[in-house]
Structure 1
Amino acid sequence: MTNRNRAVRVLIVDDSALVRRILSDGMRRDPEIEVVGEASNPYTARDLMVELQPDVITLDVEMPRMDGVTFLKRFMPVMPIPTVVISSLTRQGARISLEALESGAVDVIAKPQLGVVDELPKMTDDINRRIKAAAAVNVAYFKRAGRRDVEAVSSLSETTDKVIAIGASTGGVEALSRIMPAFPANAPGIVIVQHMPGGFTATFAERLNTICKMQVKEAEDGDRILPGRALLAPGGLRHMTVVRSGGQYRVELNEGAAVNYSRPSVDVLFKSVAQMAGRNAAAAILTGMGKDGAEGLLQIRQAGGGTVVQDEATSVVFGMPQVAYKLGGASSIAPLEKIPFLLMRALQ
């Protein structure tokens, strides 16, 4: 964790001198950020990390000699430093950036594919905000040994007209990858908001689908929420809500302003779940910075639904769960490996 009484010390790692200059100029506009070094490749970066001890690293993934993800996997277990991946948003980049999140990166920012000189400076305020947020993340979590496995959950005898809602942010990619395989093939329909940029959620849904008993897909407008199906909200431009038509639940994707700096927002999803599903819902907030989902979780609990938040010991960032718990939205607080069981039990 960085000392909040001083500026956040940042090391920029990118093979493009132009990108390094734009990022550096943007960060130097913020008095709470100090650029302590720049590196064009992971080998130079490694030496600077040892010498400069930065609070945060910004890391490109597509670099010569060694890609950023391989570098991340090598340094995070021995020198854990909060890392923000700034990557071009290509199909290949989406896959490798997703792997970066699973390997310990705390955030991913989509670098413009075209017009970097004009477009990247427009992102300065958002980049700076996310760098300062990353500085507060305790990434030592990613080298902890002996984490308990998630236990598989037995099937429910009745799954009709039930909805499970899950919200997550920083650390959520890994958390979801651990708990989603625990749900049985006929589990109630699951709706998920994981804070990610547009273009990454389709790849993440595909990856979850290969390891889960349930079908997992990126949600499309009008998709029905069915037993055995999990719908992941697309990252980027739209919020996801649950609507009810007769005895059927469906999702709608709607444009709208960011809520809690997020689009899609956990709060937007959860509030619709509270209104449409009420006591037929169970919801969880997993690891993440900020407060998104806290008000929505409280509304689900007030409507008679079951609610749980991930505990501090197993969270990468105990931000969203803590705010929700303090607000009174959670009927229980539990380690990650117990959450699938608690969600299923709440609907029995």
Structure 2
Amino acid sequence: MVLRILAVAASAVVLLAAALAISQQTADAHGSTINPASRNYGCWKRWGNDFQNPAMATQDPMCWQAWQADPSAMWNWNGLYREGVNGNHQAAVPSGQLCSAGETGGIRYAALDNPGNWQATNVGSSFNVTVHDQALHGADYFRIYVTRQGFNPLTQRLGWGDLELVRETGRYAPGEGTRETGDSVLNGVSITMPVSAPGRSGRHIVFVIWKASHADQNYYWCSDVNFGGSNPQPTATPTRTPTPTPTRTTPPPTTTPTRTPPAGGTGSCTAAYAVTGTWSGGFQADVRVTAGSAAIRGWTVTWTFANGQQVSNSWGATVTSSGSAVTARNTDYNGSLAAGASTTFGFLGSQTGSNPVPTLSCTATT
């Protein structure tokens, strides 16, 4: 029941944002601040395998509201970025929207801007900030800010005037950093940077800008911290055993997404295929599944590649291949859709020649 409620609520938000989302690049494997954990990475880390647990509402209420607003902000914890900034971060990202990178991707990350009792990491006046570079982009620079004393993240949205720069780095070459062990999701490199922010106590936000070295791609993350450990924290979440989750491990696409019209479904759903980026030998594609005039409990999308393309990694669906034939089935969290509601899944693929868009067929379980 809780799963159905979550899926329907998320689907309603996705439907409202569909016009915006269609023109945006979806998040792919890039990275995030993992210590102190960014808001969406922390939520995904704590609840990604237990997201239907109603205890989240009371034990981690800010994650709960963000998950209700759009679960894809958590599943896409590694894709919170903007392009085309040209170094002018304050012009590209308005005050009050720093934690969502100026509401990049429409409303996907908007709930991350909401003030409240986000789970925070206890730190001292000197501490380390660790960023995970999942796609081995490297960096032109990192800029690390901490909110000034007197800012209250429990009641205030973050603005540029609330920040004090505590460190700016130089360049990091692609692949420079330390390999993580014991976590298959963190399969890139981690970069750890010591910072000092004296004269602070209580709750604050660490704000990190990562300017990737491969393109004008700029990442913005908010991490909640507690200097001195004096303020109350949300109740700890239940202990759980992590299970493998979809990751994206190849270089990111840089081309403009192109989307085909929805293919006519053989059941009460349709599917639309979009190539969201290509690079030498590879590509990324997203598929939007939309329920028909009645609610559905599950969906299956099939297609056949025409030129030897192969799926190498997927998220948001269980994807299997047999030769050139591909079958994608819903996961536990996105199978139930209200009438007219949508969800998305995506994958990375390999190609050796042309990459024509396939014809999709969608069947639904009602």
- TM-score normalised by L of structure 1: 0.22
Bigger relative contact order, structure 1 or 2 (CA pairs below 8 A, ≥6 apart): 2
Whichever structure has more strand as a proportion of its residues is: 2
